[in-house]
Amino acid sequence: MSIEEQTIKEYAVSYLLTAAECGPEQRMTPSLMVNRLIDVATLHANYLGIGYARLQADGLAWVLSRVSLEMKRWPSVGEEYALRTWVEGCNRLFSQRNMEITSVESGEVLGYARTIWMAIDIKRRVAGEIPSLDTLAQVVVEDRPCPIAPTPRLREPKGDDMHDTAYTFRYTDLDFNRHVNTVRYLELLIDQWPLAWYDSHSLVRLDMAFLHEALYPQSVTVTTATDADNPMRFTQQITGPDGPCMRAAFTWRPDEYHPVCD
Amino acid sequence: MSIEEQTIKEYAVSYLLTAAECGPEQRMTPSLMVNRLIDVATLHANYLGIGYARLQADGLAWVLSRVSLEMKRWPSVGEEYALRTWVEGCNRLFSQRNMEITSVESGEVLGYARTIWMAIDIKRRVAGEIPSLDTLAQVVVEDRPCPIAPTPRLREPKGDDMHDTAYTFRYTDLDFNRHVNTVRYLELLIDQWPLAWYDSHSLVRLDMAFLHEALYPQSVTVTTATDADNPMRFTQQITGPDGPCMRAAFTWRPDEYHPVCD
């Protein structure tokens, strides 16, 4: 990783996609991209002095509430890509942060992301008020709209082809906060499609809304259904003992996989 | 990550352990450490011109055959740690590469690793001969023994308390080579112990031997048994439709977990 550019209002980091990081289609995986979105948001917040360390002093932690990601093309093996982030808005409870993803050599825009962050009270496990709101307000970029639609209202999956699978959270699904990691939820959603689907489709858009934390060793149900209006859009829900943990939508396009090397 | 030192015979990289990378005990996870061992070996091989790109020209790829890791202490959140690697020996079929893991600020040795690498023929999925053996031979370090014991002969788990669990490999378990990723095997082994065990024990030594690749969507059995001579040592085997995929041994010590922040 290398720091491309740092200003108060915009923070950019570039990364090289190694073979070890690729999925079986020899390109970037959605879970690595969501990891990178979190990384660049964290680095910018740290740079502004409102990162995890600052929030921890008040017994708070940043948590991701919503993510939407739209990709024209996924980075391929050996490609250098950059993530550029800026804050679109904030209030006492939410901070909206956008990202632009580009290919470093050509400058080609590969995609965009929208994220919404909350502060949670670490002990009470409830939403807290974002501290240093004046710092955040100063860095809001008003004249740079993000070209992708905001996260839509995600509804419970319903329909004739709805199917459920069961999963029990394991030790390696847990993170620093001793709850299930954002990226492990995403992998659980990704695994609802077989390898053959990935070899013949590209993920165009991903929406996720986090509703309730899941803990070890809870068992959950993953429900997937095709959207009634769009056979390439699927809605998903992970439901635990206390109700829905998260909802998501995956939108695909047909895209034949051609191995880079075989 | 930053490159600490590059010589032909020794290559060192340092990393900062972020909160996002920690497990629930707020320290480095064994799976991240094995990832780092692979990273530093890859970087050194690339630096010597015998990396993945060189082998690919001959239709070969580096694969890990054996790993042994012994840790006095695992890096904790916010700690900077370094991995230093050197080649202990090589022949037509195997290259032996060791690593020393230190804490950057104090220089404290945290642990050591031994790895054994093979070249596989990508199309035929069998062992190949390592090319550029003269380059490897030139960098062998003869006067720096690795202080941990070599990987022992790992036997099939046996005993009164032997237990089996089933697992079916999923899409996200696959890597660039379209087979199950080393780190996913390790996570499957790690998940055989509950959270409470990790809160009261530290992993002291890890041994893994890879015997046969596993493919999607194979179902496997994970067998775990206590060593007859040592109640803190457990042997494991992952068995697929074509026989054992890998064998492992985990050795623990009691170690109460004290949260850094709660």
A94 burial type by CB count under 10 A (0-12 exposed, 13-18 middle, 19+ buried): middle
Domain identity same for B128 and B16: yes
CB contact under 8 Å between A190 and B172, yes or no, is yes
Give the C-alpha separation, A112 to A98, whole Å: 7
Closest residue of A to B260, CA-based? Answer: A176
Read off the pLDDT of residues B95-125 as tens digits, 9 standing for 90 and up: 999 999 999 999 999 999 999 999 999 899 8
Closest residue of B to A261, CA-based? Answer: B56
Q: Return the structure tokens found at A86.
A: 């800026």
Give the C-alpha separation, B107 to B101, whole Å: 9
Domain identity same for B143 and B83: yes
Buried b (16+ CB within 10 A) or exposed e, A54-64: bbeeeebbbeb
**pLDDT mean across residues, chain B:** 94
Domain identity same for B176 and B208: yes
Q: Is the pLDDT of residue A262 over 50?
A: no
* Residue ending a domain, choose from B81, B115, B149: B149
Read off the pLDDT of residues B209-238 as tens digits, 9 standing for 90 and up: 999 999 999 999 999 999 999 999 999 999
CB contact under 8 Å between A174 and B24, yes or no, is yes
CB contact under 8 Å between B174 and A195, yes or no, is yes
Q: 3-state SS of B136-180? A: HHHCECCCCCCCCCCCCCCCCCCCCCCEEEEEECCHHHECCCCCE
| Interface probe, candidates B74, B172, B178, chain A, greatest A C-beta count within 10 A | B172
Q: Return the structure tokens found at A132.
A: 């240093």
Domain identity same for B115 and B18: yes
Domain identity same for A143 and A156: no
pLDDT band at A150 (very low <50, low <70, confident <90, very high): very high
Q: Which of B26, B175, B194 sits opposite A176 (nearest CB)?
A: B26
Q: Is the pLDDT of residue B261 over 70?
A: no
Domain identity same for B108 and B68: yes
Cα B118 → chain centroid: 14
* Residue ending a domain, choose from A90, A124, A148: A148
Domain identity same for A103 and A26: yes
Segments forming the whole domain that contains residue B65: 1-149
* Residue ending a domain, choose from A105, A122, A148: A148
Looking at the complex, report in whole angstroms how far the Cα of residue A170 sits from the nearest Cα belonging to chain B.
6
Closest residue of B to A28, CA-based? Answer: B176
Give the C-alpha separation, B189 to B209, whole Å: 13
Contact residues for B161 (Cβ-Cβ < 8 A; gap 6+):
B225, B226
Q: Return the structure tokens found at B174.
A: 């696959």
Domain identity same for B136 and B246: no
Please give the DSSP secondary-structure letter assigned to residue A43.
H
- The total of structural domains in chain B comes to 2
Q: Which of B178, B193, B217 sits opposite A171 (nearest CB)?
A: B193
State the pLDDT at residue A2: 74
State the pLDDT at residue B255: 93
CB contact under 8 Å between A172 and B22, yes or no, is no
State the pLDDT at residue B260: 61
Furthest CA-CA distance within chain B: 54
- Complex-level ipTM beyond the 0.85 threshold: yes
Closest residue of A to B17, CA-based? Answer: A176
Q: Is the pLDDT of residue A146 over 90?
A: yes
Read off the pLDDT of residues A154-188 as tens digits, 9 standing for 90 and up: 999 998 899 999 999 999 999 998 999 999 999 99
Looking at the complex, report in whole angstroms how far the Cα of residue B83 sits from the nearest Cα belonging to chain A.
18
Domain identity same for B107 and B157: no
Count, in order, helices (H) and strands (E) of chain A. 5, 12
Nearest CA among A12, A30, A9 for reference residue A80:
A12
Looking at the complex, report in whole angstroms how far the Cα of residue B23 sits from the nearest Cα belonging to chain A.
5
Contact residues for B31 (Cβ-Cβ < 8 A; gap 6+):
A172, B183, B186, B187, B190
Q: Which of B171, B195, B262 sits opposite A193 (nearest CB)?
A: B171
Read off the pLDDT of residues A24-48 as tens digits, 9 standing for 90 and up: 999 999 999 999 999 999 999 999 9
In this complex, is the C-beta atom of A77 within 8 Å of any C-beta atom belonging to chain B?
A: yes
pLDDT band at A1 (very low <50, low <70, confident <90, very high): low
Q: Which of B35, B171, B261 sits opposite A195 (nearest CB)?
A: B171
CB contact under 8 Å between B176 and A23, yes or no, is yes
- The CATH number for B174's domain is 3.10.129.10
Domain identity same for A181 and A114: no
Nearest CA among A260, A186, A188, A33 for reference residue B177:
A260
Ramachandran sector of residue A203 (left: φ over 0; alpha: ψ -120 to 50; beta: rest) = beta
Domain identity same for B247 and B166: yes
Domain identity same for B8 and B37: yes
CB contact under 8 Å between B171 and A191, yes or no, is yes
Q: Which of A18, A176, A178 sits opposite B20 (nearest CB)?
A: A176
Give the C-alpha separation, A63 to B176, whole Å: 31
Give the C-alpha separation, B131 to B95, whole Å: 11
